[in-house]
Structure 1
């Protein structure tokens, strides 16, 4: 492998790590008296990854059903790739229907749509639905769990290990408030996930004799304005957990609470973190996800000009009383491209600075597959260039 290719791969991995590594708030924020009833907690702004508050955020703890955030992340990836369709019918195995804990009472041999299975996981935390999706995607729950842990490694998370797709008690299954926030951040890149997690109530098999009432386990969806996800969790070991997200004034926050003694205390800790964020912070969007940053001519590509776009929304976050005064952006694009390039592949980075202080670094990607030009295409271009030179 050429040295340049090795260097490119190294830089790509580095940029991916940067893009998912949140910036911690200043020390004075860490003295905030928030989430006092939680064993561990964290408050993060979604787009910038800025952590506004954390409490024991890197302490490994049992995550209970918050495991399903990773389950849903892989499901959404499969939908985006076209490997899974929402209207596809999935046959429920005996293994899936036998899951204990929270369930939607799927029956062995029953056929149910992927869309309804996602609803069952996102709203009612159905363990049986989670396993049914895992088996459809990977063939077995354990194969799916292997993929979950591969995703953990891809996200550069050091304190998470999954043993199942449900969050049911399992030896050596653990995560942290920080890790759960990063997984939630990745899931929220799929914007339609909140169309599921924001539903307070719905029905499975509506109108049939065996219809089942789905009620959201996250009551803040109904009682805290702006909350539209994500996932609760409870076991006797983990106690009451919640990874939540809320959006107000075009600013989205992620909160994680682990180890609260009651639903009331869990919801209170979440609410006070959200209150603090929305009362004291604002964001400003510089670029939307998918905005064209630069068009680059590429002689050797089938498509002569390639568009380089933002891989995510680019924002700044600041305290309301302390806005930034000298925001500048810097675009770095790779000097040379190895063809072919797949849609979504990173080819550069957009850096946002306030004076010399780096506020964020966002991956720049190509917005379509870029194929190597055929001999005929290159020949035609050569003729065109010769004609223009005359």
Structure 2
């Protein structure tokens, strides 16, 4: 049931009255997008153009790492060994030596906080045996998430033998939203300064917006000369988590200004709305069942983000039959609730059976008839 609800939430399209919202101010970046944590688009500017993301690539590396961690394929104290290939990376790094071992926890910290290119490759090799195999998994995962403008060529976003990682502001927002489904990642992306190697190597977060924007919790910055300044900036405020992706900003200051403008726009013009399903979850009558009613469930309900000017117009419509025939399986979808703003559908939530109800057997019907007859005689 939770899977059904998750799919429904991911499929939400925000139907906004564009004229009712103020216009976004001018941005300096080549492309930008504003999404909420469920993957719901709130604003886009040239958001499907394929551009180089530089080190923002590492949000996919971190996503695959967190998924492996959640599956138990690796532990935080698992030792990861640096290869000659990992140690050869240029750019931002921790100067990993060939044969050096660090805990998976410190590798994640070095990637998320210090944007370490060498550690990104070491983690990729540890999880998949080679960086090439890991990159294949990166591209497969991107397709699964609905990314249409993304091709990864390595685990860190550096140019590689003339090949370039390409993605879009929209795709980065979708990957960021998926990464946020792993709350553990915020233990790393919110670190301002820390150390690894028993305190011998210092890390300072490349995302300076952590100290300049209220509610910022990550996720990743990026820069190479050809890509310009990029960022996936995530902030939590007012019961909402918003994702601002900026690609190809001319300067670091422009990147910060654009991300700030996007997040400010989101918090100023949108609000979370949690539908009240109490009326829809009353027991549903069952025909020819061993129980007279079946309990309904909708799983965990996550707020949907709506334009503030539309919040007062949001209503819910319940779609259920008067009764259902047994047998009924637990988790069987029996109806739905539609969340609407005026005549526009914002969200459809499936309602399912919380329990199984078997069909009456012949003997059950006979005993029921006999009891009814005896009660009538006694009366």
User: 1:215 is matched with which residue?
Assistant: 204
**Structure number with bigger Rg:** 2
- C-alpha deviation, 1:28, in angstroms: 3.8
- Counterpart-to-counterpart distance in 2, 1:233 and 1:169: 13
- Counterpart-to-counterpart distance in 1, 2:90 and 2:336: 46
Deviates more, 1:63-72 or 1:278-287: 278-287
Q: What are the equivalent positions in structure 2 for 1:124-139 lying under 5 Å apart?
A: 124-139=114-129
> How many residue pairs are counted as aligned between the two chains?
351
Question: For residues 256-312 of structure 1, what are the alpha-carbon distances to aligned partners after superposition, in whole Å with 9 as ceiling and x for unaligned?
Answer: 111011111100111111122222322123489xxxx89999xxxxxxx99966477
- C-alpha deviation, 1:385, in angstroms: 7.7
User: 1:360 is matched with which residue?
Assistant: 347
Cα contact 1:316–1:359 (8 A) shared by 2: no
- C-alpha deviation, 1:53, in angstroms: 2.2
Compared with structure 1, are the counterparts of its residues 366 and 231 closer, same or farther at alpha carbon in structure 2 (3 Å cutoff)?
farther
Cα contact 1:23–1:51 (8 A) shared by 2: yes
Q: What are the equivalent positions in structure 2 for 1:171-320 lying under 5 Å apart?
A: 171-207=163-199, 211-286=200-275, 310=299, 313-319=302-308
Higher relative contact order (CA 8 A, sep 6+): 2
Q: Quick one: which of 71, 85, 89 aligns to 1:81?
A: 71
- Counterpart-to-counterpart distance in 2, 1:121 and 1:168: 14
Cα contact 1:314–1:362 (8 A) shared by 2: no
Deviates more, 1:183-192 or 1:28-37: 28-37
- C-alpha deviation, 1:20, in angstroms: 5.1
Cα contact 1:311–1:364 (8 A) shared by 2: no
Q: Quick one: which of 21, 26, 37 aligns to 1:46?
A: 37
| Unaligned segments of structure 2, at least 5 residues | 287-293, 372-379
Compared with structure 1, are the counterparts of its residues 89 and 357 closer, same or farther at alpha carbon in structure 2 (3 Å cutoff)?
same
- Counterpart-to-counterpart distance in 1, 2:14 and 2:42: 9
- C-alpha deviation, 1:36, in angstroms: 1.9
| Unaligned segments of structure 1, at least 5 residues | 1-11, 298-304, 368-377
Cα contact 1:311–1:363 (8 A) shared by 2: no
User: 2:375 is matched with which residue?
Assistant: none
Secondary structure of the 1:115 match is helix
Question: For residues 305-364 of structure 1, what are the alpha-carbon distances to aligned partners after superposition, in whole Å with 9 as ceiling and x for unaligned?
Answer: 999664772324222x442334216579xx999x999xxxx9997643234421134688
If the length of structure 1 is used for normalisation, what is the TM-score? 0.76
Q: Quick one: which of 69, 73, 88 aligns to 2:59?
A: 69
